[in-house]
């Protein structure tokens, strides 16, 4: 009986010690694998900005899709417009995948920007020259989700300059604070940015 009691006490002490050790180990630091967020942060340090935008259409219809890059001065004054991608999507597309536009932007220096436009059937790299007077840092912002209406140019992405705000210290600059931009260009940014680029998409139903 004595031995059973002693064994019981020893087992109880051992279990208690194991439980305490397990509880403490739950608060010990440990390494974790690299996440997609880490990779995104690293790319930003290297000056790469990546945006993916889905462009869903009726798969039973065929459409012509154009992607435009337009440059503006303050006050929506158009400086330049360029068609950077053109392809057939929907029923007659070569690749039967949901259309998507990927845009990769990198500032090479104060006056040169590299923009890659990739769609399911191809890609284009544009070397964009920026006037030296607009050498303030530029940043990207996606527009709010909106329906793709045939025959209408839909704004997808802004790449615009920061600006000086009189309410901030002299050397401070800011960028638009909205999480997503209004497609009707009513966001504050469009009356404040001295310079920006807009990326549009336009689809038109292909006639048989």
Q: What is the model's pLDDT at position 105?
A: 96
State both tokens at 9.
């006490």
Please state, in angstroms and rounded to a whole number, the distance separating the CA atoms of residues 127 and 124.
Answer: 10
- pTM of the model as a whole: 0.79
Q: What is the model's pLDDT at position 76?
A: 81
Q: What is the model's pLDDT at position 128?
A: 93
Q: What is the model's pLDDT at position 152?
A: 95
Please state, in angstroms and rounded to a whole number, the distance separating the CA atoms of residues 88 and 20.
Answer: 65
Q: What is the model's pLDDT at position 23?
A: 57
- Per residue of the chain (208 residues), give pLDDT as tens: 544 444 455 546 555 655 555 555 567 888 888 888 898 888 878 888 999 999 999 989 999 999 999 999 987 888 899 999 999 999 999 888 889 999 999 998 888 999 999 999 999 999 999 888 888 889 899 999 999 999 999 999 999 988 877 776 777 677 776 778 999 998 888 888 899 999 999 999 987 6
């Amino acid at each position: 009986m004595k031995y059973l009691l002693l064994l019981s006490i020893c087992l109880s002490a051992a279990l208690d010690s194991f439980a305490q050790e397990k509880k403490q180990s739950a608060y010990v630091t440990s390494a974790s694998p690299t996440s997609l967020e880490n990779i995104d942060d690293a790319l930003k340090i290297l000056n790469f900005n990546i945006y993916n935008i889905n462009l869903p259409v009726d798969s039973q219809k065929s459409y012509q899709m154009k992607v435009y890059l337009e440059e503006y001065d303050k006050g929506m004054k158009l400086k330049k417009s360029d068609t950077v991608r053109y392809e057939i999507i929907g029923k007659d597309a070569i690749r039967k995948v949901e259309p998507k536009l990927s845009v990769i932007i990198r500032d090479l220096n104060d006056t040169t920007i590299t923009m890659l436009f990739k769609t399911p059937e191809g890609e284009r790299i544009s070397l964009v020259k920026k006037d030296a007077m607009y050498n303030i840092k530029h940043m990207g912002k996606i527009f709010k989700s909106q329906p793709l209406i045939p025959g209408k140019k839909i704004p997808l992405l802004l790449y615009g300059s920061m600006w000086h705000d009189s309410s901030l210290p002299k050397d401070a600059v800011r960028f638009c604070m909205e999480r997503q931009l209004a497609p009707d260009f009513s966001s504050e940014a469009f009356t404040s940015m001295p310079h920006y680029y807009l990326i549009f998409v336009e689809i038109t139903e292909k006639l048989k």
